[in-house]
Amino acid sequence: MKEMYFLRDSIESKINNSKDIIELEKIRVFYLGKKGFLNEKIKELCSINKSFFDKKDDNLKKIIFVNKIKENIKFKIQKKKIFLRKMFLEDFLKKQNLDVSLPGNKNNFGSIHPIIKTINKLKKFFFGLGFELKNGPEIEDIYHNFDALNVPNDHPSRSKQDTFWINSQFLLRTQTSSMQVRSMKNKTPPIRMIMPGKVYRNDNDCTHTPMFHQMEGLVIDSNINLSNLKWIIQRFIQFFFGENIKMRFRSSYFPFTTPSMEVDIQMQNSAWIEVLGCGMVHPNVLKTLNIDFKMYLGFAFGIGIERIAMIKYGIKDIRSFFENDIRFLKQF
């Protein structure tokens, strides 16, 4: 066993005398590698005597000792590596003449865009009421965007002045209401869905942009009435703008709902401002999509994301959402 003790002391001496990480790594690979010296030594001892498993066999004692040497070397190499890294860092700092007490460079962290923040807040509310999320194409055909929604052929929204037409049959969707049609076509009642997404209209000023965001909501079920719609809208307004917000429902007109309503909230200056439109799904829409309007009723609502975000955060110009000005975005 004397040669084993000599081997252990020799390896430890090399580790202690190593000057850098590279030299230490070479020692580790030479002795502890898969084909390193110690693994080969164990193979050699195993092949000398087939009966080495006998506890009285001297080779077995040597193998056990070699394994202890391996564990001891791993520990000492790791300890030496920590020491060398510390010495390297101290030496580097001395040569660089750095003042480590100086504050470092400030990292600028991003923030959630106010549009995404608003959409996420809306999702949280409606998911809590059991609504599902539905997405759809931004390039729509006439049927899904207009015809199935009971929009007359002479309606202004069909004109080239208001709508981005790709050709005579396809356009950039003007509303996420087109997803109502797709939902009712592909799913049997009961239906309870929200459909957020981008929509496009040919308009551009401080309160309108050619591309903006809407969230459409749809509920189709038996025993649905206007009271259900008003309850959900009221709870949503209070959730988003605060419990003490004053609101009102006004009669309005939309081709795909009847009766139709617009919802206003009262600002601090006592002025009323519209925040969304809603109504009971028109029987013609249900009939077009082969839903028995005598058995099922439904309601729908459309929320302009930019509009309610501007009101909530006091933003005056809708174009601020899309200019990527870090001074504006970092506020959120």
Q: What is the largest CA-CA distance in the chain?
A: 104
Residue 106 belongs to a domain: no
pTM of the model: 0.65
Among 120, 144, 299, which Cα is nearest to 196's? 120
Whether residue 213 contacts residue 196, with contact meaning beta carbons closer than 8 Å, is answered with yes
Residue 135 belongs to a domain: yes
Q: What is the pLDDT of residue 57?
A: 60
Q: In this structure, are 174 and 87 located in the same domain?
A: no
Residue 109 belongs to a domain: no
Q: In this structure, are 28 and 78 located in the same domain?
A: yes
Please write the tens of the pLDDT for every residue from 89-144: 888 877 777 677 878 777 777 788 999 999 999 999 999 999 999 998 999 999 99
Point out which residues pair with 301 in neighbouring strands. Answer: 217, 278
Q: What is the pLDDT of residue 52?
A: 43
- Residue 45 pLDDT greater than 80, yes or no: no
Q: In this structure, are 224 and 125 located in the same domain?
A: yes
- Residue 245 pLDDT greater than 60, yes or no: yes
Domain harbouring 158, CATH code = 3.30.930.10
Q: In this structure, are 250 and 125 located in the same domain?
A: yes
Looking at per-residue pLDDT, the higher value among 295 and 1 belongs to 295
Residue 174 belongs to a domain: yes
Residue 37 belongs to a domain: yes
Of all residues in the chain, the percent with pLDDT exceeding 70 is: 95
Span between the terminal Cα atoms of the chain, in Å:
72
Whether residue 200 contacts residue 211, with contact meaning beta carbons closer than 8 Å, is answered with yes
Question: What's the total number of domains in the chain?
Answer: 2
Please write the tens of the pLDDT for every residue from 140-195: 999 999 999 989 888 888 888 889 999 989 999 999 988 888 888 888 889 999 99
Q: In this structure, are 134 and 84 located in the same domain?
A: no
Q: In this structure, are 71 and 29 located in the same domain?
A: yes
Q: What is the pLDDT of residue 55?
A: 46
- Residue 28 pLDDT greater than 70, yes or no: yes
Please write the tens of the pLDDT for every residue from 48-90: 555 444 444 666 777 787 788 888 888 888 888 898 888 888 8
Q: In this structure, are 231 and 163 located in the same domain?
A: yes
Of all residues in the chain, the percent with pLDDT exceeding 90 is: 44
Domain boundary among 96, 125, 158: 96
Cβ neighbours of residue 66 closer than 8 Å, sequence gap 6 or more? 4, 38, 41, 42, 45
Looking at per-residue pLDDT, the higher value among 279 and 53 belongs to 279
Residue 25 belongs to a domain: yes
Residue 104 belongs to a domain: no
Please write the tens of the pLDDT for every residue from 312-325: 998 988 888 988 88
Point out which residues pair with 261 in neighbouring strands. Answer: 251, 278
Q: In this structure, are 283 and 184 located in the same domain?
A: yes
Q: In this structure, are 92 and 136 located in the same domain?
A: no
Q: In this structure, are 150 and 246 located in the same domain?
A: yes
Using alpha carbons only, how large is the chain's radius of gyration in Å?
A: 37
Mean pLDDT of the chain: 87
Q: In this structure, are 46 and 144 located in the same domain?
A: no
Domain boundary among 96, 128, 153: 96
Domain boundary among 62, 96, 130: 96
Residue 101 belongs to a domain: no
Q: Spell out the SS3 assignment of 25-42.
A: HHHHHHHHCCCCHHHHHH
Q: In this structure, are 43 and 190 located in the same domain?
A: no
Q: What is the pLDDT of residue 1?
A: 63
Q: Please give the structure tokens belonging to residue 154.
A: 């002479």
51: helix, strand or coil: coil
Structural domain for 38, as ranges: 2-96
Of 72-76, 94-98, 248-252, 298-302, the least confident: 94-98
CB count, 10 Å around CB of 283? 14
